[in-house]
Amino acid sequence: MIAILQFTKVFDEPNGHVIVGTLGVAIAICIVASEICLLREERKRTEADQEFRRQVLQYVNGRSQPPRPPVLEASDNVDIVNTPAVQIYPSQDQIQAAQETLFANEALMLPPLDLRVKLAHDPDFRRNFEAIALGKYPALAAIKKGVAREPLIAARFTRSRLIPRHPYAEITKDLMKALNKPFTATSDFLFEIHLVNTSDNPTTVQKITAEAEINGNWVVLPEFHDLGHYEIVFDDDGEGQPKRRLSKPDEADVKQLSSIWLELRGKELRRGVGVQGWIAFEISADSNVFDKPVMNRVRLVDALGGLHPVITSSADPPDKRGRLRYSPKVLEELRRS
């Protein structure tokens, strides 16, 4: 450049140095502008690639449509190349590998008890969990080995009610409230539970525990063994409300509560063996506690001490048919007293 300027005798001009300096600044500006344009185009390509990767992950998770490849605008600094489709869209093997990795991470993130519940109740989750090769994910290997040795019991509520122990409890409560006196009320949690062993490991149920949240604290509830205190009548509208009828319910519509222990005591639960029955737990607390729903949790304890929570399943919601009432024996005892 300097040789050209000397040849054209620019340096001999009175303002030659000024002209040379101006040209130098102009050249520097052009170089900087060109670099900025290249950086902007590179940033566009990076952002487009990141957006494409995000769409691929969403597509793998089943939360979106197939991803669109990144589209770049033609410019003097970017050459548009027709990329083969195999480089734009993930292959089926890549999608399956990504799905498996996401599933493995999901399983690792679950607390141990939640993982057992998921494995016991969700056949698809259990199938995907068992399909993962043992040595493929080292962090998951110990969990898979432990699960393979343990029984899995899927237990769910088919019916649940909270009923005052005494038929006249509500009258007593209203009277004590009018006198502004504290009153300890006793009620019974009645649960009908269906359970089945979904693993290949046979086991037995040693005990069933229940807790209730009272004034912010979880309290262990004692079992109430006299299920003959109640009976269930199938003369309702399907929502637990009695139908209007002139005659009494037929004897065929009245069922006794069959204890779940009659089916469980000493019985070995093998894969696919299901058991259903009732169990009751006593809860005593200030009467105001029962003015709102009482939170509870019920768990089975197997022969190895493993816990199996009883859940309300969305796939098999509780049966609302039938209404619980006090048995004639209880009403007769009240009449005599």
pLDDT, tens digit (0-9, with 9 covering 90-100), for 132-164? 888 888 888 888 888 888 999 999 999 999 999
Radius of gyration of the chain (CA): 37
User: Dihedral angle at the C-alpha atoms of 72, 73, 77, 83, nearest 10 degrees?
Assistant: 40
> Residue 332 and residue 317: Cα distance in Å, rounded?
35
Instruction: Please name every residue paired with 205 in a beta bridge, in sequence order, or none if there are none.
Output: 302
Please name the residues in contact with 108: beta carbons below 8 A apart, sequence gap of 6 or more. 137, 139, 140, 143
Q: Which of 50-64, 140-154, 248-262, 286-300 has the lowest mean pLDDT?
A: 50-64
Q: Domain spans of the chain?
A: 2-88, 98-149, 153-336
Question: What string of DSSP letters covers 30-80?
Answer: HHHHHHHHHHHHHHHHHHHHHHHHHHHHHHHTTSSSPPPPP----BTTB--
Query: pLDDT value at position 43?
Result: 80
**How many residues does the structure list for the chain?**
337
User: pLDDT tens-digit profile of 268-306?
Assistant: 999 998 899 999 999 999 888 888 899 999 999 999 899
Q: What pLDDT does residue 235 have?
A: 76
Cβ 178 vs Cβ 266: under 8 Å: no
Q: Report whether pLDDT(237) > 70.
A: no
> Encoding tokens for residue 15?
């303002």
* Burial of 124 per CB tally in 10 Å (0-12, 13-18, 19+): exposed
Distance CA(287)–CA(284), nearest Å, equals 9
For residue 212, what pLDDT band results from cuts at 50, 70 and 90?
Answer: very high
Secondary structure of 102-155 as H, E, C letters:
HHHHHHHHCCHHHHHHHHHHCHHHHHHHHHCCCCCCHHHHHHHHHHHHCCCEEE
Q: Name, in order, each residue with C-beta under 8 angstroms of 148's C-beta and a sequence gap of 6 or more.
A: none
- Indicate the range of 72-81, 155-164, 165-174, 294-303 predicted with least confidence: 72-81
Q: Which two tokens stand for residue 7?
A: 């040849």
- pLDDT for residue 227: 92
- Predicted confidence (pLDDT) per residue in 24-45, tens digit: 667 777 776 777 777 787 787 7
| Amino acid found at 27 | I
As given in the structure block, the two tokens for residue 210 are: 């229940």
Residue 313 has pLDDT above 70, yes or no: yes
pLDDT for residue 181: 80
**What three-state secondary structure class fits 254?**
strand
Judged by DSSP in three states, 222 sits in coil
Average pLDDT over residues 207-234: 93
Q: Is the pLDDT of residue 86 over 50?
A: no
| pTM exceeds cut of 0.75 | no
